[in-house]
Amino acid sequence: MSIIQRASAADIPTIRELAHCIWWAHYPEIISTEQIEYMLGLMYSEEALTRQLQQEGHQIWLVNAESIPVGFLSVSETAEGQYFLHKFYLEASTQGKGLGTAIFNELQTQYPDMRTLRLNVNRQNFKSINFYFKLGFCIEKCVDIPIGQGFVMDDFQMLWHKK
């Protein structure tokens, strides 16, 4: 049985709940409370998730451990064989046990034509950056992305190449 399953509009409440739990556990040491609240509203409202699924070409996957949702990821194809990983979140209790690596391997199975994968990660999110290094990603460039309300995402864009 796969550890990731394609999400549908019916899964949006679960994704929203996971996002709120994971973000509030992880991001207060990295970004302000105000920015967390703003970004959760911007990217994880029912309307935003529906738009991502139905109009923006995102494929959202739920991560299950023992049949319980513990995370999610979102991927879109930007060009033939080139993909962008918009989201990759796991509950803290599941991290450090090989699940993230297993998910990444499963992702490669789900997208056999994937030659490159890019993602953005906050430059202060050292735990995630180190995880991506372990998977074979490298830092491609720094990006500062204004997201509204005076907030900016200070990110690294990271790149993975299929070997």
pLDDT digits (tens, 9 = 90+) for 61-99: 999 998 899 999 999 999 999 999 999 999 999 999 999
Instruction: Specify the pTM.
Output: 0.95
| Residue owning tokens 């990983």 | 85
CA distance 118 to 86: 9
CA distance 83 to 76: 6
Task: Give yes or no for a contact between 117 and 78, defined as CB atoms under 8 angstroms apart.
Answer: no
**CATH superfamily of the 4-117 domain:** Gcn5-related N-acetyltransferase (GNAT) (3.40.630.30)
